[in-house]
Chain A
Amino acid sequence: MFEAQMAQAALLKQIIESIRELITEATFEVSGTGMMLQAMDSSHVSLVALNLRSDGFQLFRADRPFSMGMNLNHMAKMLKCAGKDDTLTMRADEANDLVTFLFESPGNERLAEFELKLMDITSENLGIPDAEYSATVSMPSAEFQRIVKDLGSIGDTVEITVTKDDVRFAASGDIGNATIKCRQLLDTEKPEDRTLIEMVEPVNLTFALRYLINFSKATSLAPSVTIKLSTEMPVVVEYKLSDIGYVRFYLAPKIED
């Protein structure tokens, strides 16, 4: 038996909306520690890792580890039916190939029950080691989204260069070139407005912009985004979900022949 209650159905709806273009099917692994999902896009170039800790839920019960394979587009269709302020309760047990989403209005006057068919998904889970990164950049998530969208209109790839003073994003295309340089900015009223650069060694990496633009669909989930880079390694783009977990995106770099 699995049962979990979230104060805001809108949070899960937003999470699924932000990842469903990258991955259409995924298996949620449920256990006493929470709900986790790891899935690669069909080209095996990028990966989504979602972690929702059990202590971030209002109620969380998982008697034993349990896998729930879901079509994320179908899940999104149901989550769209939740009211803005509805609570969400998820229920599933191993006897049925169904997960139930219960949407309850704040005054308890409306209770909607949606049952989603679960599916068997064969997926390859990657073992991603905890690594030290050469450079870690935290910046406002809206700023990162603007940069990748702006550069996406110039070129297909972005070259990211981190030095101790700044982080540069550069793109080139048929119409010309663009470089956006962000300096470290620590003296801000709100911590989420900061741009923080932690650099062990300078890095310079190139990535396909369309994936980064896709990752930035998660902007509404967190005011700040953290980008972790090491030479010739996949980049990690992390959005922290306050009090409950994170969504991380991994993207393999482009490397010169």
Chain B
Amino acid sequence: SRNQWGLMDFYGCL
């Protein structure tokens, strides 16, 4: 099975 990553795992909040 694969994990669904969220965007915050890649980009920081401004």
Mark A residues whose CB is within 8 Å of B. Answer: 40, 43-47, 124-129, 157, 206, 208, 233-234, 250, 252-257
Q: List 18 A-B contacts (CB under 8 A).
A: A40-B7, A43-B6, A125-B13, A126-B7, A126-B8, A126-B12, A126-B13, A126-B14, A127-B11, A157-B2, A208-B4, A252-B4, A253-B5, A254-B3, A256-B2, A256-B3, A257-B1, A257-B2
Contacts of A129 in B (CB 8 A): 11
CB distance from B14 to the nearest CB of A (A): 4
Contacts of A234 in B (CB 8 A): 7, 10-11
Number of interface residues of B (CB under 8 A): 14
* Assembly CA distance A234 to B6 (angstroms): 9
* Assembly CA distance A129 to B9 (angstroms): 14
Apart from the given pairs A234-B11, A252-B5, A252-B6, 5 other A-B contacts in the complex at a CB distance below 8 Å = A44-B7, A127-B12, A234-B10, A255-B2, A255-B5
Contacts of A128 in B (CB 8 A): 11
* Assembly CA distance A43 to B10 (angstroms): 15
Can you name the residue of chain B whose Cβ is closest to the Cβ of A38?
B14
CB distance from A83 to the nearest CB of B (A): 38
Is B11 within 8 A of A254, CB to CB? no
Is A254 within 8 A of B13, CB to CB? no
* Assembly CA distance A126 to B7 (angstroms): 8
Can you name the residue of chain A whose Cβ is closest to the Cβ of B11?
A126
Is A127 within 8 A of B13, CB to CB? yes
Given A124-B13, A126-B13, CB of A257 within 8 Å of CB of B6: no
* Assembly CA distance A255 to B6 (angstroms): 11
Is B14 within 8 A of A125, CB to CB? yes
